[in-house]
Structure 1
Amino acid sequence: MKNINRILLGVLVLFAFSGCESYLDEPKPTDSLTSDAIYSSTEGVDAYLSGIYRNMRAQYEYSTDVATTDVGGIYSMYFARAVKGKDLIQNSWYNFDYENDNREPTYRRTRVTWQFLFDLVNHANTLIQGVTNGTLSDADKAIYIAHGKALRAYFYFQLALEYQLSYAVDPSAPAPPLYDQVEYEAKGMSTLAELYTLIVQDINDAIADLPEDRLNKSYINKSVAYGLKARILMAMNKDWDQVEAAANAAYGGDPDAALYASEYGAGFDDINASEWMWGMDQQADQSNYYYVAPHAFTDHFADAYFGTYIDENFVANFSGTDVRSLFFNIYGGESGDWWEFVTSKFVFSFSADIPIMRTPEMILMEAEAMYHQGRETEAHDLLFTLQSDRDPYAVQSSATGTALLEEILLERRKEMYGELGVEWFDAKRLQRGIVRGANHRVVLTLDPNDKRFFLKIPQTEIDANPNIDASVNDGR
């Protein structure tokens, strides 16, 4: 019988994390503590939780023989999505993702994404089980279990996005195995319906028990959990009233107070920026150096890779007075040249923080949710609140119907390009295609529900899991 993949083994010891968030002076993550020591104090659980967050942003795979710059933490998964669309043009690292040709069972992207996320799922399950069986107070247990469930929802949400088409296409479609507790036996594939049932339940449970206060913005709190719920339901293309309510709760409901246009051009490298709700706090002594995306790839003014360029058709959507218009022609490219424009949105340094969630995304999700509920005037007004914050000379459009939806979707791309792969996410959930212009270095068309929107199941899982065989990739 095949052995279960090592990443699915649950162990009630503190993993040998490579470090913890620097703002936690004590305790430090260590592999020398017993599970009793970990789960008998809030300090011990904080150290374990800190280790999970550290692993989310650490370089997941490193080799002295093979370059692994494109397989870091959560940031590399997001940047791979970002370059699959038409707004960015890639010319160093992530090239196979840019070509939308990085999905075969033996490929590194397919294998590492699976192992990385299941490794984190296992950590979340270990946290939940350890706290449940530990000796903390009931009040502390509720908070830490909520942290574990929020993280598990987030990790499984990424797996659902990466390894299957949109939920709206077919909820019964095969999805990654479902482990809702520490497991010692491998499981077969689940369905998207089963997986999203767990994801939604987890995030609702997390919202109920998470507080607003937290150690810093590296951690999920109640507001971030609301934001995750809005993303999850949006991906399912359902329950738009709940998307609206969750997004509104996430940013606080006052768009004017949630937007700080003056900070937009500051380099997207500081987790303390007012609009940042959740991010990865990278410290100089725990730096990922040149691995970190998007900064190391998009910044053409620092000593980095100079690898990412901006599509001229995308640039044309920005007015000269928009604070987000951070595009430059520094290489003398002409119209039609893929190297014509670069952006200064992301400033690279070894301590550059990485955004995961910001308030403008929540505002735009709320606006789209209003649109889908037939409240176009409210959606239009909320959209213009953001547009006029970004551009003091903005003029509200008269768009209605599908034209208004297109305007909202374009604003999402303009607001979050390079951050989360928002163009890819929207095309996938709404079953739209992506068509690149002739100026791209690699010209291609992704049809709606194109198989290139998801990855195949990795060969390592097929080899290790007796409940999954090579037929799992038939038709994928």
Structure 2
Amino acid sequence: MKKINKIIFVGLLAVLMGCNDAIDIRQPGRLDAANAFTNVEDLQLGLLGIYAQWDLTPEIALASNFCDEVSIGFDSGGQGLALYGFQLNPASAAGSNFWVRNFAFNNRASILIEAANSLSSEIDAADQAEFNNILAQAHFLRAYANHELLLYFSTDVRDDSTLAAPVIDFVPGLTFQPLRDTTGDLWAYINSDLDLASSLSNVQSDVTFISRDAITAFRARLAMERGDYPTAASLAQGLLNSYPIADRDQYQLMFLDADNTEIIMKLERTPNDPFDGQGATGSVNAGGWAGARFAFVDATLAGSPYFEMDRNVFNMLDPADIRFDVNVAPTSVISGDFDNDPDPVNNDILVIQKYPGSEGQPLMNDLKAFRSSEMLLILAESRAAMGNFSGAAELIQQLRTARFGSAQPLPVYNSMQEAFAGVLDERRVELVFEGHRYKDLKRIGVAAGRGIDRNMIDCLGQGNACTLSADDFRFTLPIPIVEINGNPAIGAEQNPGY
């Protein structure tokens, strides 16, 4: 049974969104946090409202459309062509979505945290564990929002002196106009929230809500991004001891929302919830069903795919690999000689079915926030970074063996670049259409000798946007014009290239 229902969401969003989505909770005459949250039950509803704002579809759309996971579909009406053509500027939806959405996310979590702290002395002993766990989840969710701001707006998340986003750890008034804080400052904010989340959380595992294991998985990801590979390796290995890699049957069922073997935490999607709808097709202003990032109707040839799978991704998928079955719809039209095909647009139609739908709703599936295969790949990257190339190769072999269902050859990496390239290539296959590619290329694309690599036949007819180096300035998003218009001083802190 789905745990989050529409009635709870609607009731709570009326409380949280009655105020302008900026930061005006303290306007005179409006319902403020002190009156909106008076007990643990209110806080629990508030927490569910913050969960209602957590969405991975903008990341999925950016990683797929801007990078090299999709090609323009035969049923395209022009959706997403600018982003596919590497066109990013302060007026683009990408910058405004990631900036505005995550600051709203941060603000809502701060409202709940301030309300909870004001109630802390009034909590009964019987409610203390639930109260602590609510607060733990709120701190985690705030950290997640600021992590997105860090990744997408800092030019270098491993250089503390670079500019990131403003650190706003309180509920400000409408006239507040912050400047950008440094990457180091934002890391400190994120880690402070995660320290509090870790100290307060009292649930070890929960597939649909934040738990201690989800916090650990997030910390492993952050340590990898920060370049703290020993910590990333230790955290990832601990989770792999508890969450086995799915076998072939479990893997296929996982993407039908019927198996949780490998899932550390996921975002549930169910009919009549706030994400039950198509959303903004061809845009990072996504929302809605995850599969609607690629098709209008369903994940079949007849389902009006406006994006198809890039041929280079398809070429990396072996038909004996269960990831082929999960990602390539059986209704696809596959050219037997693609490189020489006179009409590849009509003779090679690779329909994406990573999100076929569930509960009777096509294109709607739960979003996998953290799973054990990602932890394995974090461990592999960590081993590569620490010079253990054979250890990294063994992990890639382990993952491939699970996906093929039979022993696979051991890769051979003779340098860090080769090992990073091997890990990045495996992430491209394992995590395709899950929102990782943009961040992966930004993090280790240069070290791996990898960048955006679209199939030439696919992309030459679409503005010749076929390749892009991983050190291109567009792997950092621009401060959006909507922020600059309301906060002019921050315009002088625009990211390079924009």
TM-score range, shorter chain: 0.7 to 0.9
Moved more, 179-188 or 345-354: 345-354
2:338 to 309, 316, 335: 335
Structure 1 pair 54–25 and aligned structure 2 pair: CA distance change class (3 A)? closer
**Partner of 2:82 in structure 1?**
96
**Preserved CA contact (<8 Å) 2:290 2:365:** no
Structure 1 pair 47–90 and aligned structure 2 pair: CA distance change class (3 A)? farther
2:162 to 129, 150, 173: 173
**Structure 1 gaps, min length 5:** 1-19, 58-73
Structure 1 pair 305–122 and aligned structure 2 pair: CA distance change class (3 A)? farther
Q: C-alpha separation between the residues in 1 aligned to 2:8 and 2:496?
A: 50
- Listed one character per residue, the Cα deviations across residues 223-268 of structure 1 (whole Å, up to 9, x for unaligned) are 11111112222222x111111122233x34256x342321323472
Structure 1 pair 178–23 and aligned structure 2 pair: CA distance change class (3 A)? same
Give the percent of matched residue pairs that are identical in Structure 1 and Structure 2.
Answer: 22
**Partner of 2:323 in structure 1?**
324
**Preserved CA contact (<8 Å) 2:390 2:412:** no
Q: CA deviation at 1:302?
A: 7.6
**Preserved CA contact (<8 Å) 1:87 1:310:** yes
Structure 1 pair 207–370 and aligned structure 2 pair: CA distance change class (3 A)? farther
- Listed one character per residue, the Cα deviations across residues 167-226 of structure 1 (whole Å, up to 9, x for unaligned) are 23x432221111012222221111112112222232233223223357x63322111111
Q: Is 1:22 aligned with 2:5?
A: yes
Q: How does 1:37-186 map to 2 (within 5 A)?
A: 38-57=36-55, 74-91=56-73, 92=76, 93-101=79-87, 103-134=88-119, 135-136=122-123, 139-168=129-158, 170-184=159-173, 185-186=176-177
**Preserved CA contact (<8 Å) 1:243 1:365:** yes
- Listed one character per residue, the Cα deviations across residues 281-308 of structure 1 (whole Å, up to 9, x for unaligned) are 1221225322235312255328744122
Determine helix, strand or coil for the equivalent of 2:257: coil
Q: CA deviation at 1:140?
A: 4.4
Moved more, 326-335 or 84-93: 326-335
Q: CA deviation at 1:107?
A: 2.5
Q: Is 1:427 aligned with 2:459?
A: no
**Partner of 1:62 in structure 2?**
none
Q: CA deviation at 1:354?
A: 2.3
Q: CA deviation at 1:446?
A: 1.6
Q: C-alpha separation between the residues in 1 aligned to 2:483 and 2:208?
A: 31
- Listed one character per residue, the Cα deviations across residues 398-457 of structure 1 (whole Å, up to 9, x for unaligned) are 41233333222222111110012x222111012523232312234332223211112211
**Partner of 1:211 in structure 2?**
202
**Preserved CA contact (<8 Å) 1:171 1:191:** yes
Measured on the aligned residues, the alpha-carbon RMSD in Å equals: 2.9
Determine helix, strand or coil for the equivalent of 2:66: coil
Q: C-alpha separation between the residues in 2 aligned to 1:267 and 1:437?
A: 29
Q: C-alpha separation between the residues in 2 aligned to 1:118 and 1:380?
A: 40
Q: CA deviation at 1:51?
A: 0.6
Q: CA deviation at 1:318?
A: 2.7
Q: C-alpha separation between the residues in 2 aligned to 1:28 and 1:78?
A: 29
Moved more, 178-187 or 22-31: 22-31
Q: C-alpha separation between the residues in 1 aligned to 2:398 and 2:136?
A: 33
**Partner of 2:290 in structure 1?**
294
Q: Is 1:364 aligned with 2:377?
A: yes
**Structure 2 gaps, min length 5:** 19-30, 280-287
Q: C-alpha separation between the residues in 2 aligned to 1:357 and 1:96?
A: 30
Q: CA deviation at 1:376?
A: 3.3
Which amino acid in structure 1 is aligned with residue 354 of structure 2?
Answer: K
Q: C-alpha separation between the residues in 1 aligned to 2:83 and 2:289?
A: 14
Q: CA deviation at 1:471?
A: 5.7
Q: How does 1:321-400 map to 2 (within 5 A)?
A: 321-326=320-325, 327=328, 328=330, 330-331=332-333, 333=335, 335-336=338-339, 337=344, 339-348=348-357, 349=361, 351-400=364-413
Q: C-alpha separation between the residues in 1 aligned to 2:201 and 2:6?
A: 20
Structure 1 pair 124–254 and aligned structure 2 pair: CA distance change class (3 A)? closer
Q: C-alpha separation between the residues in 2 aligned to 1:163 and 1:99?
A: 20
TM-score by length of structure 1 reads: 0.82
Determine helix, strand or coil for the equivalent of 2:434: coil
Q: C-alpha separation between the residues in 2 aligned to 1:223 and 1:128?
A: 21
- Listed one character per residue, the Cα deviations across residues 95-126 of structure 1 (whole Å, up to 9, x for unaligned) are 3322221x322233322321111100101111
Q: C-alpha separation between the residues in 2 aligned to 1:21 and 1:302?
A: 33
Q: C-alpha separation between the residues in 2 aligned to 1:94 and 1:87?
A: 13
Greater helix content: 2
Aligned length, in residue pairs? 434
Moved more, 340-349 or 384-393: 340-349
Q: C-alpha separation between the residues in 1 aligned to 2:290 and 2:33?
A: 37
Q: C-alpha separation between the residues in 2 aligned to 1:369 and 1:204?
A: 23
TM-score by length of structure 2 reads: 0.79
Determine helix, strand or coil for the equivalent of 1:410: helix
Determine helix, strand or coil for the equivalent of 1:82: helix
